[in-house]
Amino acid sequence: MSSPLLYSGSPRFAGFVQRADGLFGLIAALILVAIMLLTCADVIGRYFLNKPVPGAFEITELAMGALIFVSLPLVTLRREHVTVDLLAHLVPKGFRVIQLLVLDLLSIACVGVIGWRVWLKAVEMGSSGETTATLEIAVYPLVYYMSIMTFLTAVLIALLMWQDIFAAKKDKTG
């Protein structure tokens, strides 16, 4: 929400961004609270009752995967990705919109390929019946979720890029 481009343009788009941001933020917070509560229960059980939570490590690993991949669209919506702009000052102002467009298209392609490869991995894990070692939880549903969150991130990058194009056109026309 720190970017001036984030809410420029259509109020409808701004409303969508705020609702999506709230939803992904809530999901991330709930997963983080669940990890924290599980860790606390495991520590108390392990050190005070000599009875750790069975499979706590596996559940934490799965929850961390869910947390990381719900954070991907959240960070994208907030435009809080790590950026390095060592050479940005060399790009003339007139070409910055084109530069952002090219970088967004490259990002969409990269994130899309990652989503596709993760989807193929989920298919492979589902067909082989891969599970966690202790609790024997099927892993492929989480991997499908990871792929869907990655594809969703690519869509969000495209929507933000589209919004930026219209904001740039609006700035030129005044």
Q: Which of 156, 138, 145 is nearest to 67 (CA)?
A: 145
Q: How far apart are CA 62 and CA 66, in angstroms?
A: 6
Q: What is the pLDDT of residues 5-26, one digit of tens each?
A: 445 557 777 888 889 999 999 9
Q: How many other CB atoms are found less than 10 A from the CB of residue 140? A: 18
Asked whether the CA dihedral 133, 66, 28, 61 is positive or negative, the reply is positive
CA distances in angstroms from 168 to 80, 83, 85, listed in the order given? 20, 21, 20
The two tokens of residue 69 are 């991949």
User: Are 81 and 152 in contact, with CB atoms under 8 Å apart?
Assistant: no
Residue 170 scores a pLDDT above 80: no
Write down the pLDDT at residue 5. Answer: 40
Q: What is the pLDDT of residues 94-117, one digit of tens each?
A: 788 888 899 999 999 999 999 999
Single-letter amino acid, residue 120: L
Q: For residues 26-35, give the mean pLDDT.
A: 97
Q: What is the pLDDT of residues 76-96, one digit of tens each?
A: 998 888 888 887 778 887 788
CA distances in angstroms from 171 to 2, 101, 163, 167, listed in the order given? 19, 16, 12, 6
Residue 73 scores a pLDDT above 80: yes
Write down the pLDDT at residue 153. Answer: 97
pLDDT confidence band for 172 (50 / 70 / 90): low
Q: How many other CB atoms are found less than 10 A from the CB of residue 11? A: 8
More confident residue, 93 or 74: 74
Q: What is the pLDDT of residues 139-149, one digit of tens each?
A: 999 999 999 99
Q: What is the pLDDT of residues 115-143, one digit of tens each?
A: 999 999 999 999 999 999 999 999 999 99
138 DSSP assignment: B
